[in-house]
Chain A
Amino acid sequence: MSELTLGRSGVDRDRALRLLQDYGVYLGVAVLLLVNIAFTPHFLSTENFRTQAVQVAPVLIVALGMALAIGSEGVDLSVGSVMALATSLISLYLGYGAWIALIAALVGGVLVGLANGALVAFIGVQPIVATLALMVAGRGLALVLLPQLKDVRDPGLRALGTGDVLGIPYVVLIAAALAVLVAFVVRRTTFGRRLLAIGDSRPAARLAGLPVRRVLVLVYVLSGALAAVAGVLATARLTASDPTSLGTLMELSAITAVVVGGTPLTGGRVRIGGTVAGAVLIQLLTATLIKHDLPPSWTQIAQAAVIVLAVYAARERGKR
C-alpha cells in the first residue's frame, strides 16, 4: 500500500516536472507581466504594449524559422546576415518599385536558404558550419551591395513599418499570422510530420523512405525566407537600410527564444507556442531590466542565465 502511494507520488512529481518544462515559459511570461504591472510605472498602457509587441515581432519571425531548423536537428546561424542582405537588396532595388524590392529581398533570403540546405542535405556538412560560412559570407555580401547606411524614403514601406489596423501594428499582425501559419505547417502538413521524423532520427527517416534531402532544403529555405521578411520589416520600421548592424546577434536571440520555449536542441519536436512565449519572455526581461535602470550588461548576464536555466530544465526530458 505504501509502495503504491510512493509510486503514485513519483508519477505525480514526474508529471509536475513535465508540466513545468512544457509550460514553464508561459509561467515565466506571466510572472514577468505581474512583476511589471506591480512595480513598473506606466507599464499598463496601450502605447507600451504596442512598443513591446513591435520590438518583439522581427525576433519572433526569425525564431519561427529557427524553430524549424532546430526541429530538424539543425541550426541556422545565417539569419542575422540574411536580414542584412534583405535590407541591402531593398535599397538596391527600390528604384524599380517597392514590390520589386520586397521580392528581391525575399529571393535573397531564399537563395541563402538554398545554399544552406544544399550544404547540409546534399553534401552532409554540419548545419552549424554550413550556416556559419553563410553567416560570414552573407554579411560580407550585404556590405558589398550596400557599403553604408542609406535612408529608405518609400511611403509604402514606411506605411508597412508604422501603420496599423484597429490599433494593431501591421508588423505585429504579420508576425502573428506567420506564427499561426508555421504552427499549422508543423502540425497539419506532411512536410511538418516529415520534418519532425527527420529531426527525431535521420537514419530512421531515410530507411522509412522519406525525402530527407528535399525536406531539409525546404527547412533552410523557409528559415532564410522568414529571416528576409524580418529584415524587410525592420527596414520598414527604421526607414533605413543598415547592413552593418541590422540583425547582428539575431541568431542568438532566435535560438534563445526557441530553446526557452521548450523546443529541444536534439530535434524531433517543435513548439511554436513556446517559441512565441520565449520571444516575449526575452523581450519582457530586457524591457524590465532597462525600465528599472539596470545597465545593458545586466541584461546580457540575465539572458545568459535564462538560457542556461531553460536548457537545464529541458535536460531532464532527454534523459528519460
Chain B
Amino acid sequence: MTMTDVEAVQPGRAVPEEPLGATRAERLSALAQQHGALVTLVIAVVIASLSFDTFLTGDNLENMALSSAFLAIVALGMTFVIVTGGIDLSVGSLFALGGVLAAWGSRYGTVVALLLPLAVCGLIGLVNGLLIARSRLAPFIVTLAAMLGARGLLLAITDEGSTTYLVDKSTFFATLGQGKLLGVGVPVWITLALFVLGAVVLRRTRFGQYVYAVGGNEDAAALMGAPVARTKIGVYVVSGLCAGLAGALNAAWLVSGVTILGSGMELEAISAVVIGGTLLTGGFGFISGSLVGVLLLKVIQNVINQIGSLDSAYQQVVSGAFLAVVVIAQTWLGRRRRVW
C-alpha cells in the first residue's frame, strides 16, 4: 500500500499525515491551521461581549444565528467543492434563484416549494459539474458563466426583477423559515442537522474519501480507481443543492422571494471556508471549520454594526483585511509542511 492509499482510504485522516518524526513546531502549525478560526472566534466573542452589553442578548444572538444559517448552508456545499480543489462562483445567483422559485412554488404546497429550487439548482450544479469534469473546463470560468446565466434566468422569470412572489404566512413552508423550536429558529436547526450530515458524508462515506482523494492528487486518485469525474460532478451538485435550499429557507424566512439577494455571497462563502482552515488548493479541509468561519464573519460584522459610528463600508475593509491575514497565515503555516 502506498502513502496515497493510506491517506485516501482513511477519510478521518485525510489531513496531510504528520510524519512520525514531526517536530513540535510542525505539530503546532498543524493545530493552528485546524483550530485557528475557532480560537479567533472565541477571542472575538469574549471581546465583543465585554465591549458591548448588547452583544450577548437573546435578540442579538438569535439574529446572528439566523443570518449565519443561510450563509452556512451555502458554505457547506462550497466546502465540498473546495476540498476537491475547485471553486463555485454561482452560489450567490443560485441562492437568489432558489428563493424566488421557492416563493413561487409555495402556492402549490411545501413539497413543490422545496423540490422546485432543489431540482433547478441541482440541475445547474450538474451542468457545472459535467462541463468541469467531462469537458475539463476551468471551474472558475464555468461557474462564472453559471453565475451570469442563473441571474439572467432569475430576471427572466420575474419580469426583469419587477415581480415579487410572496409566501403565505400561514403555510407550513413559512414555518420552516419563521418557526421556532425550543426558542431557536427552525433554519438554525436545519443548518445544524445539515452540518452533521455533511460531516458524516465527508468523513465516513466512500464519496467523502473520493472528495479528499481527488483534491489531494487527481492523477493518483484516478490510478487507484477513484471515479474522479463522478466525484467532481457530485460536489457541484451538492453545492447547487445547498445554495438552492439555503435560498428556499431564506425565502420562507422573509416570506417572499427577493431577486436582488445573494450578490457577493459566493465571496462570503469562499471566505468562510478558507478562514475555517480548508485549503483552496484542495485535499485538506473540514466541515466544522466552515461553520466556525461563517460565525466568525458574522460576529465581526455584528461588532462593526454595534460600533455604530462606523458604517458598513468598514465591514468590507475589515473582512477583506481579515481574509488576507488568514490566507497569509495559512500559507506560511502550510508551507512548512508542504513540499515545494
Interface residues of A (CB under 8 A from B): 75, 119, 123-126, 128-130, 132-144, 147, 252, 255, 259, 265, 295-301, 303-305, 307-308, 311-312, 315, 318-319
Interface residues of B in 151-204 (CB under 8 A from A): 151-156, 160
22 example contacts (A-B, Cβ-Cβ < 8 A) are as follows A128-B280, A130-B327, A132-B270, A134-B320, A134-B324, A136-B319, A137-B320, A139-B316, A140-B314, A140-B318, A143-B316, A144-B311, A252-B147, A296-B155, A296-B160, A297-B153, A300-B149, A301-B156, A304-B145, A307-B144, A308-B131, A308-B142
Q: Which residues of A contact B151 (CB under 8 A)?
A: 297, 300
- The CA-CA distance from A296 to B155 in the complex, in Å, is 8
Q: Which residues of A contact B140 (CB under 8 A)?
A: 75, 128, 265
Is there contact, CB below 8 Å, between B135 and A123?
A: no
- 7 closest Cβ contacts across the A-B interface? A137-B320, A140-B316, A300-B152, A297-B155, A143-B313, A304-B149, A136-B320
Q: For chain B, what secondary structure do more than half of its interface residues adopt (helix, strand, loop), or is it mixed?
A: helix
Is there contact, CB below 8 Å, between A295 and B156?
A: yes
Q: Which residues of A contact B148 (CB under 8 A)?
A: 252, 300-301, 303-304, 307
Q: Which residues of A contact B315 (CB under 8 A)?
A: 140
Is there contact, CB below 8 Å, between A140 and B327?
A: no
Is there contact, CB below 8 Å, between A307 and B141?
A: yes
Is there contact, CB below 8 Å, between B324 and A133?
A: yes
Q: Which residues of B contact A252 (CB under 8 A)?
A: 144, 147-148
Is there contact, CB below 8 Å, between A126 and B319?
A: no
Q: Which residues of A contact B270 (CB under 8 A)?
A: 129, 132
Is there contact, CB below 8 Å, between A301 and B149?
A: yes
Is there contact, CB below 8 Å, between A133 and B131?
A: no
CB distance from B54 to the nearest CB of A (A): 23
Q: Which residues of A contact B335 (CB under 8 A)?
A: 124
| Also in contact, A140 and B317, with CB within 8 A (given A147-B311, A301-B156) | yes
Is there contact, CB below 8 Å, between A137 and B324?
A: yes
Number of A-B contacts (CB under 8 A): 140
B249: Cβ under 8 A from any A Cβ: no
Is there contact, CB below 8 Å, between B323 and A144?
A: no
A interface footprint on B298-340 (CB within 8 Å = 1, 0 otherwise): 0000000000000111111111110110011001100100000
Q: Which residues of B contact A300 (CB under 8 A)?
A: 148-149, 151-152, 155
B137: Cβ under 8 A from any A Cβ: yes
Is there contact, CB below 8 Å, between A128 and B87?
A: yes
- The CA-CA distance from A305 to B312 in the complex, in Å, is 35
Q: Which residues of B contact A311 (CB under 8 A)?
A: 137-138, 141-142
CB-nearest residue of chain B to A319: B136
B32: Cβ under 8 A from any A Cβ: no
B44: Cβ under 8 A from any A Cβ: no
Q: Which residues of A contact B141 (CB under 8 A)?
A: 255, 259, 265, 307-308, 311
CB-nearest residue of chain A to B161: A297
- The CA-CA distance from A132 to B266 in the complex, in Å, is 11
Q: Which residues of A contact B267 (CB under 8 A)?
A: 132, 135-136
Is there contact, CB below 8 Å, between B153 and A301?
A: yes
- The CA-CA distance from A48 to B316 in the complex, in Å, is 39
- The CA-CA distance from A82 to B321 in the complex, in Å, is 15
Is there contact, CB below 8 Å, between A133 and B160?
A: no
B281: Cβ under 8 A from any A Cβ: yes
Contact of B327 among A133, A139, A318 (CB under 8 A): A133
Q: Which residues of B contact A141 (CB under 8 A)?
A: 313, 316-317
Is there contact, CB below 8 Å, between A301 and B142?
A: no
Contact of B145 among A130, A136, A147, A308 (CB under 8 A): A308
B114: Cβ under 8 A from any A Cβ: no
Contact of A312 among B135, B274, B314, B328 (CB under 8 A): B135
Is there contact, CB below 8 Å, between A125 and B331?
A: yes
Q: Which residues of A contact B147 (CB under 8 A)?
A: 252, 304
**Contacts A119-B327, A300-B148, A304-B152 supplied; 15 other A-B pairs, CB < 8 Å:** A123-B328, A123-B331, A126-B281, A129-B270, A132-B270, A133-B324, A135-B267, A137-B323, A141-B317, A295-B156, A296-B155, A297-B153, A304-B146, A311-B141, A318-B136
Is there contact, CB below 8 Å, between A124 and B331?
A: yes
CB distance from A24 to the nearest CB of B (A): 16
Interface residues of B in 179-236 (CB under 8 A from A): none
Q: Which residues of B contact A144 (CB under 8 A)?
A: 311, 313-314, 317
Contact of A301 among B152, B313, B321 (CB under 8 A): B152
Q: Which residues of B contact A304 (CB under 8 A)?
A: 145-149, 152
- The CA-CA distance from A4 to B270 in the complex, in Å, is 53
Q: Which residues of B contact A299 (CB under 8 A)?
A: 152
Q: Which residues of A contact B323 (CB under 8 A)?
A: 129, 132-133, 136-137
CB distance from A35 to the nearest CB of B (A): 21
Q: Which residues of B contact A265 (CB under 8 A)?
A: 138, 140-141
Q: Which residues of B contact A143 (CB under 8 A)?
A: 311-313, 316
| Also in contact, A295 and B313, with CB within 8 A (given A140-B319, A308-B142) | no
- The CA-CA distance from A128 to B140 in the complex, in Å, is 9
Q: Which residues of A contact B321 (CB under 8 A)?
A: 133, 137
- The CA-CA distance from A55 to B323 in the complex, in Å, is 34
